[in-house]
Amino acid sequence: MKTVYACFCTDVIHEGHLNIIKEAVKYGKVIAGVLSDKAMVRYNRCSILSLEERKQMLEEIPEVSEVIVQNEVMYEKILRELKPDYVIHGDNWIEGPLQTIRENVIASLRGWGGQLIEIPYTYNEKVRNIDAVMKEKTAMPEYRRKRLRLLLELCPIVKTLEVHSGLTGLIAEKTLVANHGEIDQFDAMWLSSLCDSTAKGKPDIELVDMSSRLRTVDDILEVTTKPIILDGDTGGLVEHFVYNVRTLERMGVSAVIIEDKTGLKKNSLFGTDVEQTQDSIERFCEKISAGKRAQRTEDFMIIARIESLILEKGIEDALERAKAYVDAGADGIMIHSRKKEPDEVFEFCDRFRMADGKTPLVAVPTSYHSVTEDELQSHGVNIVIYANQLTRSAFPAMQETAETILKYHRAKEVEDRLMPIGDIITLIDEV
């Protein structure tokens, strides 16, 4: 009897999935694949159900003869093992980034004369409603909050993009590319005080208070599902920080990063060019500990940002602080540098990892931007934050557009570099 393989990446079986299975059974014995958690993440999905629950869901379908786990987004490995006569899939992958998966399937099947069967993708009102409900569930605080810890377990490095509005949140949420035969995306979002302040036309000196920052957070939470890491600046007074931790935790934010500086906040990339004061180890440890005591779940993370390299106090000071902060309860360490080369960051990470192989390390390659994610990972970095690139790319584009309109007294000259309104509208989901 001939075999048919169909892989599913879902927490619910709806009409569209059943249509695929009904078609598949016409050709032979149906083997259903269920994507592993690790593969789901790379496919821009974060499951609510466990792998075993998703397996059971498919096993209960009478037409399915066997259920197996597919551990990779690409089908090549699993198809070589199964050598099915047919692979069946909806036609929604013919165009766009998912096309690279389709090409991988076709190339694999060619090895033994297998055939790809594609059926019209089912996307009626009922299916749309089911998808919307599932998306809403993944956006709920209890699911979103824990997602960063899950990503740290599943991903070699958590790729995090700066966002400062609902629209930039959607860019981080939906950007998916085919890259060297793989599907790639951002895993998490970074809401920096610099970019949030800049978007509001305010200086980055903690002038924008937490209440205003939280409104931005809420805008992003409303339209996205990916975990948020918030730039908490210095954390403020200990008495204020503990309440902010509770608020962020309740909203569904995954982590807050606080830096060990005191006084009027100045952007770190100014370094010693402006007066900046580093907090004592003892006081900053108390802030971390107070924040951890205030938490109500194990999901939320407090990450300590060390400014020793920025302030030219050296690696030894940074390492001393890192150990103390971890001992005080910090869930991660962010090491910052304004050097053009990553050497001191690499040295810190290497030496930190010799003593601590567990605590997550965070790097922000803004100044040393030539470094790759693979290089950071090889030195023990777990999270990379692209901290301000969307803001910095948007400003010159908008400035040039404004100047061009003034120059020509019309909009025709800028039209060819503008995103069509229709494309913007499709980026925004309708309720």
Measured distance CA(40)–CA(225) in Å, rounded: 14
SS3 at position 144? helix
For residue 415, tell me if it sits in a domain.
yes
Out of 37, 187, 196, 204, which one is annotated catalytic?
A: 204
What average pLDDT does range 137-141 have in this prediction? 89
Reply yes or no on whether the pLDDT at 326 is more than 90: yes
pLDDT of residue 69: 97
Is 53 in the same domain as 105? yes
CATH classification at residue 79:
3.40.50.620
Is residue 135 one of the residues assigned to a domain? no
Within its chain, how far is the Cα of 114 from the centroid?
Answer: 36
Tens of pLDDT, residues 232-255:
999 999 999 999 999 999 999 999
pLDDT confidence band for 427 (50 / 70 / 90) = confident
Q: Which residue has the higher pLDDT, 274 or 392?
A: 392
pTM over 0.75: yes
**Residue 196 pLDDT:** 85
| 49 & 65 share domain | yes
Q: Coil, helix or strand for 108?
A: helix
E strands in 286-379: 301-306, 332-335, 361-363
Least confident of 31-35, 215-219, 271-275: 271-275
DSSP class of residue 420 equals P
Q: Please tell me the least confidently modeled range out of 188-197, 370-379, 382-391.
A: 188-197
163 and 112 share one domain: no
Do 174 and 307 have their domain in common? Answer: yes
Q: Which of 219, 222, 244 is nearest to 231 (CA)?
A: 244
Tell which wins on pLDDT, 208 or 14: 14
Confidence of residue 136 (pLDDT cuts 50, 70, 90): confident
pLDDT of res. 291: 98
Is 302 inside any structural domain?
Answer: yes
Question: Is residue 170 scored above 80 in pLDDT?
Answer: yes
Domain that holds residue 400: 393-427
Q: Are 10 and 123 within one domain?
A: yes
User: Looking at the structure, do residues 185 and 331 belong to the same domain, yes or no?
Assistant: yes
Q: What is the per-residue pLDDT for 182?
A: 82
Identify whether 308 is part of a domain. yes
Sorting pLDDT into bands at 50, 70 and 90, what band is 430?
low
Task: Work out the mean pLDDT of the chain and round it to a whole number.
Answer: 92
Return the CATH number at 279: 3.20.20.60
Tell whether 173 and 246 lie within a shared domain: yes
Lowest mean pLDDT among 209-213, 283-287, 423-427: 423-427
> What pLDDT was estimated at residue 317?
97
Same domain as 323, residue 183: yes
The per-residue pLDDT for range 263-315, each reduced to its tens digit, is 765 555 555 556 779 999 999 999 999 999 999 999 999 999 999 999 999 99
Q: Which of 103, 129, 155 is the last residue of a domain?
A: 129
Which ranges constitute the DSSP H helices of 181-313? 193-199, 210-223, 238-251, 281-294
Q: Is 196 domain-assigned?
A: yes
* pLDDT at site 264: 62
Largest Cα span, the chain: 77
Q: What pLDDT does 89 receive?
A: 96
Task: Indicate if the pLDDT at residue 428 is higher than 80.
Answer: no
In a shared domain, residues 72 and 194: no
Task: Give pLDDT, residue 207.
Answer: 61
Residues in the chain: 431
pLDDT number for residue 36: 93
Tokens of 304: 């300590």
Residue 113 lies in a domain: yes
Last residue of a domain, one of 129, 159, 179: 129
Give the number of domains in the chain: 3
Residue 92 lies in a domain: yes
Share of the chain above pLDDT 70, in %: 96
> For residue 431, what pLDDT is reported?
53
Active site annotation includes 331: no
Same domain, 199 and 310: yes
> Domain for residue 134, yes or no?
no
The residue with greater pLDDT, 81 or 427, is: 81
Which pLDDT tens digit goes with each residue over 60-95? 999 999 999 999 999 999 999 999 999 999 999 998
Judgement on whether residues 68 and 88 belong to the same structural domain of the protein: yes
Query: What is the C-alpha to C-alpha distance for residues 29 and 365, in angstroms, rounded to an integer?
Result: 51
204 or 197: which leads in pLDDT? 197
Handedness of CA 256, 141, 388, 209 (dihedral sign): negative
Instruction: Give me the numbers of helices (H) and strands (E) for the chain, helices first please.
Output: 18, 17
Do residues 237 and 350 share a domain?
yes
